[in-house]
Structure 1
Amino acid sequence: MESITKNRQSLDTLRAMVARAYGDDHVPSRTGRWVHELRHGWFNVAYRIRLRDGRHVVLKIAPARDVDVMTYERGAMATELAAIELIRARTTVPVPDVDFVDASGELGGAGWFFMPYVDAENYGVIRSALSACEQDRLDGALGRATRELNTITGEAFGPLAGPGVAGWRACFLSMVEAVLADGSRRGVDLDYARLRALFAAHADCLDEVTEPRFVEWDLWDSNVLTRDGEIVCIIDHERAFWGDPLIEAGFVATRLPSFGNPAAFLRGYGKPALTPGEHDRRRLYNLHLTLVMLIETAYRGVTGPRHLSWVRARLAEALALF
């Protein structure tokens, strides 16, 4: 996907990054096709690179430091690296290894890191070609993986690196306010006063959440790599935080059917039904999510009317739940 946040680099800079990470002996020759951009993401740029010894690795580069991003996206690469470390240390959910990290910005004007290439298929890409049974199996596995991620507990609600707050209500409402402020700053056409009042009027249900849990939040099928009908890797962890597990992507469709059928995910997660309070929280989370989806288009440089129309329709559905 195209986005102005993608910090693409010249072949010479990519070769310099390889040299810094793996040594001069592994730098690809100047001839032949040794680099391929992986285009499914919408924030960072990622390249698949063949090293001189034949190994394939992935290079992920953060947006340039002078590119304006949404408030919650600041420091996203550091969040991803912290999330990978947490997941690897405290769960069995498969995540990428990290070969090398450079946060200096000396090359490419931003942070970047290398990881081994995982030879697998992207579930979001191949989903429509799978049978209903195969989709059901993978959705159930995604539910189980999400549940295991949510077993990781934290000390406070908020960013993985802190600072956090003691209550989920204060944390979530601050997340909402940051998104609305991002939209206002870019002139996104919304009734901001009405939205703020709506969140405030329905915030009591947030007090049911008392324990900070690791939340991946962006765990859609497009961030799942599969092989032979099994999940072999979860990727793109830059949106993780300490929060309420019910805010996870797999629960979106419980109140917004346009996002698919959540039955297999819920079965895998071990949560066949939501309580009334959870339904109320999910309404708030869906409204927050669809606002993010709309406002981020201004930060990605998306102008296509088809996508904007689709996002506006999802926001209208989320508002209709109230």
Structure 2
Amino acid sequence: MNFSSSQYGTASPDFPSIQRAIQDTFRSPRIVVQKIERIQGRLHEVYLVRLADGNALVLKCAPKHSIRTLRHEKHSLETERKTLETLRENYTQIPVPQVLKYKNDGGEFGSFLLTSYIPGRTLSELSPYLTVYERNTIDRTLGAYVRTLAALSATQFGMTHRVFAKRGGNSWREAFLALLESALRDAEDMLVTVPYESIRYYVGRHIHFLDEVTEPRLVALHVCDPRNVLVDEQTKQVTGLVGLSNVFWGDPLMSGGIAEGSDAFFEGFGERPMQTAGVQARQLIYTTYRATVQIVAHHYRPHSGIDELEARRSLTHALNNLAAM
């Protein structure tokens, strides 16, 4: 990844601790860290670690204890590790980082995930400078990647850490309701004003449509977020996908990119979802979930850049449409 100075945070990383973690990973005291750059992450503390031999690594650390996390974020580092390993094993054509080390024992500076470095600029940085043709090419590539991700199946539904521990759900209805309830409980904990009764009522009224989903597929909610897509500055081709910490197993219709996909995206994906009553209801239910999580996350972390008003408009629109069905 190639990050501009505007993305660097102001906090200084603990250089000796990171140096020891890198040397321990490669079991060699000869590995010398030359420079550490702080990257502004969505939730985690992320560092670009440049080595003296010219190579670079990415170190993602658990959030500080002072940062409040939502229930679904508690196992985000573990989720990202398992997702990256699964994709590297099954779909080598998808450009994701290689996991070099994962540590979850607290240790010197907490849990962390160390991965390989993928060169490129974030799509959010380059977007204003792309031609229509270049953007369509990127969208087409992302559509193909999302289709490939959605082809990966599991034996249970639910959050990744639970599925890999054989503690997932046997139905998508059960797993999704658990996700939604965890978001609503997060809202209740912070006394966030959202229409709890309406959310539960209208989702419940249409929840039977989720029974149309009978096979758990990989759902990466933020895979198409412009901050998670890396692009070559010269060729304008996608070089990597990062930020795969919010991944679970369920309905591929909920995958990142599907709700707001362009014509080029769906060319790469292969087809647009047929707008049956079931598909429309499921999409509105998923919009309700995403908007609720965004509203709650804004109250937990007010400086995270979330547009709360837009999330509330999206939530109201989804509930109104569910009510009209």
Short-chain TM bin: 0.7 to 0.9
2:3 equivalent in structure 1: none
- Aligned residue identity for 2:94: V
Deviation by residue 1:25-69 (Cα, 9 ceiling, x = unmatched): 22336xxxx121122x31111111111222211111112467531
1:210 equivalent in structure 2: 214
Maintained 8 Å contact 1:123/1:224 = yes
Q: Unaligned stretches of 5+ in structure 1?
A: 254-260
2:179 equivalent in structure 1: 175
Which of the residues 238, 248, 257 maps onto 2:245?
238
| Structure 1 residue 316 displacement after superposition | 3.0
TM-score normalised to structure 1 length: 0.87
- Aligned residue identity for 1:312: R
* SS of corresponding position for 2:140: helix
1:257 equivalent in structure 2: none
* SS of corresponding position for 1:26: coil
Deviation by residue 1:158-207 (Cα, 9 ceiling, x = unmatched): 12232211111111111111100111111111121221111101112111
- Aligned residue identity for 1:177: E
1:198 equivalent in structure 2: 202
1:16 aligns with 2:44: no
Maintained 8 Å contact 2:67/2:301 = no
* SS of corresponding position for 2:38: strand
Q: CA RMSD in A?
A: 2.4
- The separation in 2 between residues aligned to 1:67 and 1:7, in whole angstroms, is 15
1:247 aligns with 2:254: yes
- The separation in 1 between residues aligned to 2:196 and 2:247, in whole angstroms, is 26
| Structure 1 residue 85 displacement after superposition | 1.0
* SS of corresponding position for 2:191: coil
2:98 equivalent in structure 1: 97
1:223 aligns with 2:224: no
1:300 aligns with 2:269: no
1:288 equivalent in structure 2: 289
Deviation by residue 1:102-121 (Cα, 9 ceiling, x = unmatched): 2221121x211222221112
* SS of corresponding position for 1:115: strand
Maintained 8 Å contact 2:11/2:38 = no
- The separation in 2 between residues aligned to 1:207 and 1:161, in whole angstroms, is 23
Deviation by residue 1:122-160 (Cα, 9 ceiling, x = unmatched): 122211210111111111110100000111110010122
1:187 aligns with 2:183: no
Maintained 8 Å contact 2:81/2:113 = no
- The separation in 2 between residues aligned to 1:197 and 1:7, in whole angstroms, is 45
1:26 equivalent in structure 2: 31
1:68 equivalent in structure 2: 68
TM-score normalised to structure 2 length: 0.87
- The separation in 1 between residues aligned to 2:68 and 2:149, in whole angstroms, is 30
| Structure 1 residue 13 displacement after superposition | 2.7
Maintained 8 Å contact 2:287/2:314 = no
- The separation in 2 between residues aligned to 1:104 and 1:317, in whole angstroms, is 43
Q: Unaligned stretches of 5+ in structure 2?
A: 1-5
Q: Does 205-214 or 46-55 show the bigger shift?
A: 46-55
Maintained 8 Å contact 1:25/1:52 = no
Maintained 8 Å contact 1:7/1:64 = no
| Structure 1 residue 315 displacement after superposition | 2.7
Maintained 8 Å contact 2:96/2:240 = yes
1:115 equivalent in structure 2: 115
Maintained 8 Å contact 1:57/1:117 = yes
Maintained 8 Å contact 1:8/1:45 = no
Deviation by residue 1:53-104 (Cα, 9 ceiling, x = unmatched): 2221111111246753111111111110100111111122111012222222
Between the aligned residues of both structures, percent identity stands at: 26
- Aligned residue pairs, count: 306
1:269 aligns with 2:257: no
- The separation in 1 between residues aligned to 2:18 and 2:300, in whole angstroms, is 25
Change (3 A) 1:8 1:212: farther
1:80 equivalent in structure 2: 80
Maintained 8 Å contact 2:49/2:56 = yes
- The separation in 2 between residues aligned to 1:11 and 1:298, in whole angstroms, is 32
